[in-house]
Amino acid sequence: MDLMPTPEARAALIARARDLLLNPKEEWPKIAAEPATVGSLYQSYVVYLAAVPVLCTLIGSLLFGYGVGGFTYRPTVFGAVTTAILQYLVQLAGVYVFALIIEALAPRFSGEKDRVAAFKLAAYSATASWLAGVFYLLPFLHVLAVLGLYSLYLLYTGVPVVMRVPQERALAFTGALIAVGLVLGLIVAALIGALVPVPGPSEVGEVGGKISLPGGVNIDMDKLDKAAKRLEQMSKQAESSSDEGAGDDAKGTRPSPIAPEALKSFLPPSLPGGFARTDLSTASGGAAGFDFGNAKGVYQKGDARITLSLTDMGAAGALATLGSIFGASSSEETATSYSKLGQVDGRMTMEEFNRETKAGKFAVIVGERVMVEAEGEGATMDELKAAVAAVDFGQVEALAK
């Protein structure tokens, strides 16, 4: 098999991923009816999509390193490549193992025992998770990889179609798969060196309205119906945009990028607490079909410094509301640091702070596409939140539309 798909195969792969993300309820019946084998699904889809998070992580780590508590660690090329190869092999093997789990559990929920169908569900439902790996390219977008949670919705909508599980049991089956899949993920992580405690069997039983995941992440599964309605609305908007746009590459499906100069206009000359602006810059670029625009200002008060930035995530921001729709939240705390994922006024928020180094970040997703982030050294979390609040969200949302 060639390392890169032919132009025809590449076009088919892109079309399948796009249609699955935008119209899953229409795409799953097509997938269920297609003749396929496990091998053909690997060759035409899995080997390429599974490479997205691995390659983006590899490139991002080599270019920017890993930021931890105000310090940056940049791996060696040999170490980064070795890790990437291992991660890629684990991704490929994980899809097959997850398919075996789906096949084994389906009859318990009145579904069909079909290995190829189970592999279709495992492979295609992971699409959002894999594509969210593009956020690993840039350090300030890492936290948005959580938007891969959209794969939970894909799994939920695919279960009754592909595995023939009755609709009234689809939610329970999805919850069971998530729970078992998490255990599998923790075991795999342990095998590659991560010392993560594995949940006990009691956590893989009856699924209620909420599922608590390792690491303090909670997902409100009762909000799936609300998510479905919102996602269908997003799909119709994207289709309308596509119809109005011109071009063979369907550029109409992507929102026009916001000019970095426009983003720069939202950066105030000073911040609350006596921080004066000392630098101002803009940047733009793209990767894997996504356009990014960024404007940032540096603010100083004595030895304390805050970098306030606005980043237009373009098409990638279309998934920015899914975390709040699913009720996703996360909270983790150690003796010296903490991190939180939540929402305020319906907007997704990300917060992390190290008390020892006095380094932290606070970010808010505005208008479903613009991330407003304050990163500080020697500043308090209250000062970081005040910096973000200094940006006029209403005007940013108007621009984002």
Our measurement of the distance from residue 353's CA atom to the centroid of its chain's CA atoms, rounded to an integer in Å, reads 21
Same domain, 211 and 272: no
d(C-alpha 128, C-alpha 316), whole Å: 11
349-375 mean pLDDT: 87
Task: Tell which of 192, 210, 240 closes a domain.
Answer: 240
Helices (H), 269-369: 322-325
d(C-alpha 212, C-alpha 221), whole Å: 10
Task: Tell which of 176, 206, 240 closes a domain.
Answer: 240
Same domain, 218 and 310: no
Same domain, 308 and 394: yes
Within-domain flag for 247: no
Percent of the chain clearing pLDDT 90 (strictly above): 27
pLDDT(391) > 80: yes
- Mean pLDDT of the chain, nearest integer: 75
pTM: 0.52
Same domain, 92 and 197: yes
pLDDT, one tens digit per residue, over 5-20 is 677 778 888 889 888 8
pLDDT recorded at residue 306: 95
Quote the number of domains for the chain: 2
Higher pLDDT, 134 or 162: 162
State which of 143-147, 195-199, 227-231, 275-279 shows the largest mean pLDDT.
Answer: 275-279
pLDDT(169) > 70: yes
d(C-alpha 250, C-alpha 66), whole Å: 35
Same domain, 236 and 278: no
Task: Tell which of 200, 216, 240 closes a domain.
Answer: 240
Residue 22 belongs to domain spanning: 7-240
Same domain, 279 and 233: no
How many Cβ atoms sit within 10 Å of the Cβ of residue 49?
Answer: 21
pLDDT, one tens digit per residue, over 218-237 is 444 454 445 445 544 544 54
Domain containing 322 — which CATH number?
Answer: 3.40.1000.70
Same domain, 161 and 286: no
Within-domain flag for 1: no
Within-domain flag for 248: no
Within-domain flag for 286: yes
pLDDT, one tens digit per residue, over 265-279 is 999 999 999 999 999
Contact of 214 with 221, CB cutoff 8 Å: no
Same domain, 196 and 267: no
Instruction: Name the token pair of 190.
Output: 């342990």
Same domain, 282 and 394: yes
pLDDT recorded at residue 233: 53
Torsion sign (Cα): 82, 85, 89, 94 = positive
Length of the chain (residues): 401
Same domain, 261 and 186: no
Within-domain flag for 2: no
Same domain, 115 and 201: yes
pLDDT(217) > 70: no
How many Cβ atoms sit within 10 Å of the Cβ of residue 301?
Answer: 16
Same domain, 54 and 139: yes
Within-domain flag for 293: yes
State which of 161-175, 216-230, 319-333 shows the largest mean pLDDT.
Answer: 161-175
Q: What is the DSSP letter of 328?
A: -
Within-domain flag for 245: no
Within-domain flag for 363: yes
> Per-residue confidence at 387, pLDDT binned at 50, 70, 90?
very high
pLDDT recorded at residue 125: 92
Instruction: Name the token pair of 180.
Output: 């078992």
Please tell me whether residue 37 adopts helix, strand or coil conformation.
coil
